[in-house]
Chain A
Amino acid sequence: MQTIDMASTPLREVNSTLQAQKEDTNQKAWEIINPKGSHAIACGLDGPIEVTVRGSTGYYSAGMNKQAHVHIVGSAGPGVAENMMSGMVIIDGDASQYAGATGNGGLLVIKGNASSRCGISMKGIDIVVYGNIGHMSAFMAQSGNLVVLGDAGDALGDSLYEARLFVRGKVKSLGADCIEKEMRPEHLEILADLLERAGADAKPEEFKRYGSARQLYNFNIDNASAY
């Protein structure tokens, strides 16, 4: 285990050290101490390493992640795991707004609550939230899965494309063109796999599925007055 102390190491050095670990690195386990809410910790990683951040982080931690497993032992500020490509990011506490935004792949696990705009414009990432999510989550979400064990806030899945949304608790309101959909066996299978990989204690049968009604895909002249 390599330990980096952010009380004495500048952020750019922390990130460049972690970014230098590629496929063939033999230093697989890293620990970052004293993050103290700093921004952009463990961004742009591209190697099969495990990074444990001991404390809460500020904006944009673990952004653009490829391959790496980043574990934040605390809460994360806005934009955590933004544009993740692959790998895994686990947050023990809460995540602020737009967690997992625009993510292309990988798995983001938030063990507390996520606030507004979770998974906005997600493009293939899987997100599992143990707690609740805030308003406007999965806005314009294109693909991937958003799994919420708690409740969802207002306007869930507004202007949704083909992402799947699974919510166990209450949904305060659905956004434009987002509807509840039938839970078929293949969905239960996807959900069971995600819950297991996220270590979440919930049964797939307890969830409802939401998706796009696909009414906004093409311009409809009858809707002109709504614009």
Chain B
Amino acid sequence: MCGIVGLFLKDKSLEPKLGSMLTDMLITMTDRGPDSAGIAIYGTDEDNNTKLTIQSNNPEADFDQLDKALSEAANTQVSIRVKDTHAVLEVPDKMVDDVRTALVELRPNVRVMSVGDIMEIYKEVGLPKDVAARFSLAEMSGSHGIGHTRMATESAVTTMGAHPFSTGSDQCLVHNGSLSNHNSLRRKLKRDGIAFETDNDSEVAAAYLTHKMKHGSNLGEALKSSLDDLDGFFTFVVGTKDGFGVVRDPIACKPAVMAETDQYVAFGSEYRALVNLPGIEQARVWEPEPATVYFWEH
């Protein structure tokens, strides 16, 4: 069991409330996943900077003066915004590779959670309400976001085993279910040059979609091909810079409910997660069909 929530806003006036709405939805799904929780949130692209969300188990030492050290090492301008065990580095788009190389040298224990123009990922072990509070998720604004509460089955309960997984720029995936062909697929993707952080099955699904999109598929097409190539149980919710997609395996035993109004598209593992959204009584509420791809783009 795991819990998934997702919110894709159509009405810009709701953007300042995205974090608080998603946090409420996430905490409602605690029963489905009390091990760990995470959220990916898509903000606005205001500049020519790329965001690197990084994580450390020893944030005080690792994040101290990191902006200055990286700026000097990569000869560029890096800023840092620390949030508990995570920090967001803002790096000029062209300097991302240099900064990442410098980061590995300067702070070998720091993990990169996500890279993108607008996406930030926060995830940790613990109850969803505690994870949300540590990162002040409720105060975040954005255009769309995805959250996950985890009850682990396929790999250990660790920060890196929590969802969302990001394997491409501004791309993320959360998963409820378990994949049975992830080892063979991981080997194939490794041969194509994709690096993996964990032994987790869901990370393979994320990497698979990234791989497909790198080779010309849009989000909808990548999700469609996942139905042929992934074996197992899954309900996926995925985010891209301007898109939001949902797909369930043909057996569809992992629950899913969606709601759509003029203001938003929302996803919940259960209807409970959606009950406090504005105008939910008038929303079109439905259960996504098995083996059917749903996606929305801004």
Q: A86 in the interface, Cβ–Cβ < 8 Å? A: no
- The answer on a CB contact under 8 Å between A56 and B271 is yes
A86 to B106, CA, bound (A): 70
Are B290 and A116 touching (Cβ within 8 A)? yes
Given A97-B252, A116-B252: A58 and B272 within 8 A (CB)?
yes
**Digit string of A18-62 for contact with B (CB within 8 Å is 1, else 0)?**
000000000000000000111000000000000000001111000
Output the nearest chain B residue to A35 by Cβ-Cβ distance.
B275
Point out the residue from A37, A78, A134 that lies within 8 Å of B290, measured CB to CB: A134
- Is B196 an interface residue when CB atoms closer than 8 A count as contact? no
Is B255 close to A, CB under 8 A? yes
Which residues of chain B have C-beta atoms less than 8 A from A157's C-beta? none
CA distance A116 to B290 in the complex (A): 9
In this complex, what residue of A is CB-closest to B281?
A: A55
A96 with B255: CB separation less than 8 A: yes
State how many angstroms separate the Cβ of A206 from the closest Cβ of chain B: 25
The SS class assigned to the B binding surface is loop
In chain A, what residue has the closest Cβ to B31? A39
Residues of A near B286 (CB, < 8 A) are: 94
Q: Which residues of B contact A58 (CB under 8 A)?
A: 270-272
| Chain B window 262-298, contacts with chain A (Cβ cutoff 8 Å), 1 for yes, 0 for no | 0000000011111100000000011101100000000
In this complex, what residue of B is CB-closest to A38?
B272
Q: What's the Cα separation between A49 and B35 when bound, in Å?
A: 41
Task: Say whether B271 contacts A78, CB under 8 Å.
Answer: no
B156 proximal to A (CB < 8 A) = no
Residues of A within 8 A of B270 (CB): 37, 58-59, 77
With A78-B255, A116-B252 as contacts: A37 and B271 at CB distance below 8 Å: yes
Q: Please, which residues of chain B bring their CB within 8 A of the CB of A115?
A: 252, 287
Encode B47-77 as 1/0 by CB contact (under 8 A) with A: 0000000000000000000000000000000
Question: Which residues of chain B are within 8 angstroms of A59 by Cβ–Cβ distance?
Answer: 270
Question: A77 touching B271 by the CB < 8 A rule?
Answer: yes
| Count of interface residues, chain A, beta-carbon cutoff 8 Å | 18
Residue with the greatest number of chain A CB neighbours at <10 A, chosen from B253, B286, B287: B287
| B290 contact set on A, CB distance < 8 A | 116, 134-135
Nearest CB of B to A96, in Å: 6
Tell me if A75 is interfacial: C-beta within 8 Å of chain B: yes
Contact check, B287 vs A94: say whether CB atoms are below 8 A apart: yes
Which B residue's beta carbon lies closest to that of A153? B290
What sequence of 0s and 1s flags, for each residue 172-203 of chain B, a beta carbon within 8 Å of any chain A beta carbon?
A: 00000000000000000000000000000000
| A173 to B108 Cα, complex, angstroms | 56
Contact partners of B272 in chain A: CB under 8 A: 36-38, 58
Q: Which one of B253, B271, B285 contacts A97 once the chains associate, using CB atoms below 8 Å?
A: B253
Shortest C-beta distance, B177 to chain A (Å), equals 14
State the CA gap A101–B4 with chains docked (Å). Answer: 25
Complexed CA–CA distance, A56 and B259 (Å): 13
Expressed in whole angstroms, the Cα–Cα distance for A38 and B272 within the complex equals: 7
Q: Would you call B274 and A37 a contact (CB within 8 A)?
A: yes
Residue of A nearest to B287 (CB): A115
- Residue-wise, chain B 217-254 has the 8 Å CB interface mask toward A (1 for contact) of 00000000000000000000000000000000011110
Q: Residues of A contacting B274 with CB < 8 Å? A: 37
A77 CA to B285 CA in the complex, in Å? 12
Interface positions of B (Cβ within 8 A of A): 250-253, 255, 257, 270-275, 285-287, 289-290
8 contacts between A and B (CB under 8 A): A56-B271, A58-B272, A75-B271, A77-B270, A93-B285, A97-B255, A115-B252, A116-B290
Instruction: Please name 13 further chain A to chain B contacts, defined as beta carbons within 8 Å, in addition to the given A94-B285, A115-B252, A134-B290, sorted by A numbering.
Output: A36-B272, A36-B275, A37-B272, A37-B275, A38-B272, A56-B271, A58-B271, A59-B270, A94-B287, A97-B252, A116-B251, A116-B252, A116-B253
Closest 8 CB pairs of A and B: A37-B272, A37-B271, A36-B275, A115-B287, A56-B271, A37-B275, A58-B272, A58-B270
